[in-house]
Amino acid sequence: MSQVDSALVETLLTALGNAYAPYSSHPVAAVMECPDGQQFAGCNVEVAHYKGLCAEASAISAMATAGQRELAKVYVMGPGEHLCTPCGDCRQRIREFATPDTQILVLSREGEVLKTYTMETLLPDAFGPEQLPAR
């Protein structure tokens, strides 16, 4: 299995440590990497009414806030050794900014790549911006 670089692991572990997950006790970290190499981290942020924000959504918000609109790579790190794949809502959110070449990598806490997806394998035949009339 391959390993991501130590700076990225550090970024993910910091985000994981900052996750606010008092209800699920399931902290998650994500990093969105854009084609120019810029990276945006996020963690899950839960709230008492249970409509919290996923790590992927948090990182995508940071990316969009910086004016970025395309994903080259998505990194997701969960709390354990299980595959912490993006939820259905986040798959659609990633799809919004993905290309056919975007890679979604699910990592262990040590930065080991447990599994790599393309958008097509993560969310086959997905609905996307192309299905809507041109604006």
Which string of x and - marks every residue 9-48 that binds Zn ion (by CB under 5 A)?
Answer: ----------------------------------------
Number of residues near Zn ion (by CB under 5 A):
3
By CB under 5 A, residue 54 contacts Zn ion: yes
Pick 42 or 111: Cβ nearer Zn ion: 42
- Active-site residue 46, yes or no? no
91-22-66 Cα angle (round to 5): 45
Pick 3 or 127: Cβ nearer Zn ion: 127
By CB under 5 A, residue 83 contacts Zn ion: no
Pick 88 or 100: Cβ nearer Zn ion: 88
| Contact residues: Zn ion, CB under 5 A | 54, 87, 90
